[in-house]
Amino acid sequence: MNRRTWAEPFKIKMVEPLRMMSPQERERAARAAGYNTFLLKSEEVYIDLLTDSGTSAMSDRQWAGLMLGDEAYAGSANYYHLEEAVRGHYGYKHLIPTHQGRGAEHLLSRMLIKPGDVVPGNMYFTTTRAHQELAGARFVDVICDEAHDPLDESPFKGNVDVTKLRALIDRVGAKKIPYLCLQCCVNMAGGQPISLENIRATSELCHAHGIRVMLDATRAVENAYFIQQREPGCSRRSIRDILLETCSYTDGCTNSAKKDCLVNIGGFLCVNDDELAEEARNLVVLFEGLHTYGGLAGRDMEAMAIGIGESVQQDHIRARIGQVEYLGDLLHRAGVPIIRPVGGHGVFIDAARFLPHVPRDQFPAQALAAALYVDSGVRAMERGGVSAGRNPDTGQNIFPALELVRLTIPRRVYTQAHMDVTAESVISLFKEPERVVGLRFTSEPKYLRFFQARFEPVEGEGVLRSVARAASGVGV
| Residue 354 is among the residues annotated as catalytic for this protein | no
Give the whole-angstrom CA distance, residue 326 versus residue 8: 12
The residue annotated as part of the active site, out of 10, 73, 447, 451, is 73
| Residue 126 is among the residues annotated as catalytic for this protein | yes
Task: Map the footprint of ligand F0G across residues 149-208, applying CB under 6 A.
Answer: 183, 187
Q: Which of 81, 89, 94, 102 binds ligand F0G (CB under 6 A)?
A: 102
Give the whole-angstrom CA distance, residue 356 versus residue 455: 20
Q: Exposure of 347 by Cβ count < 10 A (0-12 exposed, 13-18 middle, 19+ buried)?
A: buried
Q: Which residues contact 144 (CB under 8 A, 6 or more apart)?
A: 122, 154, 157, 159, 160, 161
Comparing CB distances to ligand F0G, the nearer of 150 and 191 is: 191
Q: How large is the angle between the packed helices 298-311 and 314-333, nearest 10 degrees?
A: 70
Comparing CB distances to ligand F0G, the nearer of 73 and 451 is: 451
Within 313-363, residue ranges assigned H as helices are 314-333, 351-354
| Residue 73 is among the residues annotated as catalytic for this protein | yes
Q: What is the DSSP letter of 461?
A: S
The residue annotated as part of the active site, out of 90, 125, 226, 268, is 125
| Residue 383 is among the residues annotated as catalytic for this protein | yes
Q: Which of 22, 24, 127, 416 binds ligand F0G (CB under 6 A)?
A: 127
CB of residue 347 vs ligand F0G: minimum separation in angstroms? 14
DSSP class per residue in 323-334:
HHHHHHHHHHHT
For the beta carbon of residue 351, count every other beta carbon within 10 angstroms: 28
CB of residue 297 vs ligand F0G: minimum separation in angstroms? 16
455, 407, 404, 462: which is closest to 436 by C-alpha?
A: 462
Q: State yes or no: residue 268 binds ligand F0G (CB under 6 A).
A: no
Piece of the chain touching ligand F0G by CB under 6 A; list 25-33, 122-130, 136-144, 388-396: 122-130
Task: Map the footprint of ligand F0G across residues 30-59, applying CB under 6 A.
Answer: 51, 53
Q: State yes or no: residue 246 binds ligand F0G (CB under 6 A).
A: no
Comparing CB distances to ligand F0G, the nearer of 194 and 277 is: 194
| Residue 125 is among the residues annotated as catalytic for this protein | yes
CB 404 within 8 A of CB 383: yes
CB of residue 100 vs ligand F0G: minimum separation in angstroms? 3
CB of residue 101 vs ligand F0G: minimum separation in angstroms? 3
Give the whole-angstrom CA distance, residue 90 versus residue 92: 6
# residues contacting ligand F0G (CB under 6 A): 15
Q: Which residues bind ligand F0G (CB under 6 A)?
A: 51, 53, 100-102, 125, 127-128, 183, 187, 216, 218, 256, 258, 267
Active centre residues (catalytic): 73, 125-126, 216, 259, 383, 450
